Structure 1
């Protein structure tokens, strides 16, 4: 018994690992492309790029694992059926539920991984990603300023560089400060250096002038300087106390929102539904596993193959995934529909279990 269980577990584990790595890699690659622009503009290292892209893995994994588990189980049982191994095991006394048990063992491990990801890793990774992106976006000292181009590192700052020296110094610099559109300031310098300080990034300019127009007097104020320090930290966008998205919150913050926070009250349904969705999402794993197993060995035996059954099983799995999205959307509109989040996977699970029942063998009694 243990040998058979271990054998079936191995038949599922290898396709599961392959499907998980393949699907995660493809989605991770597409998601990482949106960080390319940030890496180029902020002159970040390759390590920073991988750090940002790794932070999106928990959200990808939570979506991939149920699908990968279904595909691996369906593939493994179809292969066992094609090689007539399931027929031999059934003839040896293994019931359908006994054959499905190894797949459920795999499903239990996947559920533990999903609960760990959804309840712990996802909020930590999402919060860290948001904070890191904010730091990179406002790190003006790391901004890559191109030669001969009017660079706009922020909405209110324009920088032009005629030439950049190998040591990083900039020649022929023009800086236009438009934070106050009614009173813009323009600075020009022969040479400038962009450096980091404990108080934030600063642009040190040498041999230049500062031009400012007085809108009331309609006069130009011109100030020549030998050395001028421009504090770039004041140009950074202030994040303030931004509202935390549901993906950034732990389960307790989702199920029990802060009723003193107007934003939480306005998004109460959204937060509560997200909390219950994290609880119920791992339950889709055993439901999908049972659908995969039932599509191969459930119902009456058919010698013509399992093509139609595989299509039916795949259609049932897709329907379950679509219903999960629909139910979550409806529950967000009306919190009274929240039980449907749990009823949906349990209904498909019950239907698959019914198909896995052993067929009733009728005895034919002949006449004496």
Structure 2
């Protein structure tokens, strides 16, 4: 019995590892492309790019793992059925539920991994990603200023440079500051250098002027300077001022939001549903795994109907995923429907178990 259990587990484990790595790699690559522009504009190193993309992995794996488990189980049991190993094991006294037991062990392991991801790693990665993006976005000293174009490091600052000399200094510089929308400031300089200092990034300009319009007097204030230091820290956005998204919150922050915060009150349903969704998502792993097994060996045995069984299993799995999204959307509108979040995977799970209850010790062969 133990040998058969480990044998079936190995048949599932290898396809599971392959499917997980393949699907995760593809989706991770598409997500990584989002950071290319930011990496180039902020002159970040490859390790910074790798760090940013790794922070999205928990969210990707939480989606991929149940799907990969379904595909791996479907492939493994289809192979066992095609090689007549299911028939042999059934004739020796193994019931369908006994044959499904090794897959259940894998499902429990996947559930444990997914709870660790959804309850801790995913919110930790999301909030770390946002904090890191703020840090890189506001690292104005590391930004790349292109020649001959208007560079906009943020929505308050526009910088234009004509060219760079052999030392990397900027020549023909124009800086437009709109922090005060009523009194925009324009600075022009023959030469400028972007430096990091203990007080933060600064733009040192040489031989230029500072122009500011007074809207009340409708006059132009013009100041000529030999040297001017522009503090870029004041252009940085302060992290932590924005509302924390549900994906960035841990479970206790979702179930017990700050009711003194207007944004939390307005998004109360969304937060509560996200908390329950974190608890429900791992349940889809055993549901999908048992659906895969039931679609191959459940019901009446038919040697020629394996293709139809695989298609039926795929359709049911897709229907389950679509139904889960629909139920989550409805629950967000009315939290009374939250029990449906739990009922959805459990109904499919119980249905798959019922299909596997029929003994398989004496399979009936049907030629058509």
How far did residue 253 of structure 1 move? 1.2
Q: Structure 1: where are the runs of 5+ without partners? A: 363-368
Q: Which has the higher contact order (CA 8 A, sep 6+)?
A: 2
How far did residue 177 of structure 1 move? 1.9
Aligned residue number for residue 194 of structure 1 = 194
How far did residue 212 of structure 1 move? 2.7
Change (3 A) 1:105 1:183: same
Tell me the SS of whatever aligns to 2:47: helix
Cα distance in 2 for residues equivalent to 1:330 and 1:132: 33
How far did residue 99 of structure 1 move? 0.6
Counterparts of 1:102-141 in structure 2 under 5 Å?
102-141=102-141
How far did residue 120 of structure 1 move? 0.6
Aligned residue number for residue 237 of structure 1 = 237
Tell me the SS of whatever aligns to 2:203: strand
TM-score of the superposed pair, with normalisation by structure 2: 0.94
Cα distance in 2 for residues equivalent to 1:215 and 1:263: 36
Counterparts of 1:157-168 in structure 2 under 5 Å?
157-168=157-168
Aligned residue number for residue 366 of structure 1 = none
Aligned residue number for residue 289 of structure 2 = 289
Question: After superposition, what is the alpha-carbon deviation per residue over 1:325-368, rounded to whole angstroms, capped at 9, x for unaligned?
Answer: 11111111111111111111111111111110124999xxxxxx
Counterparts of 1:172-191 in structure 2 under 5 Å?
172-191=172-191
| CA-atom RMSD in angstroms | 1.7
Change (3 A) 1:220 1:261: closer
Aligned residue number for residue 62 of structure 1 = 62
Q: Structure 2: where are the runs of 5+ without partners? A: 363-368
Moved more, 252-261 or 37-46: 252-261
Change (3 A) 1:81 1:214: same
Cα distance in 1 for residues equivalent to 2:329 and 2:322: 11
Q: How many residues were matched structurally?
A: 362
Cα distance in 2 for residues equivalent to 1:42 and 1:108: 43
How far did residue 165 of structure 1 move? 2.9
Aligned residue number for residue 300 of structure 1 = 300
Cα distance in 1 for residues equivalent to 2:159 and 2:195: 15
Moved more, 259-268 or 86-95: 259-268
Aligned residue number for residue 169 of structure 1 = 169
Tell me the SS of whatever aligns to 1:133: helix
Change (3 A) 1:282 1:70: same
Change (3 A) 1:240 1:23: closer
How far did residue 191 of structure 1 move? 1.5
Moved more, 190-199 or 159-168: 159-168
Cα distance in 2 for residues equivalent to 1:263 and 1:212: 38
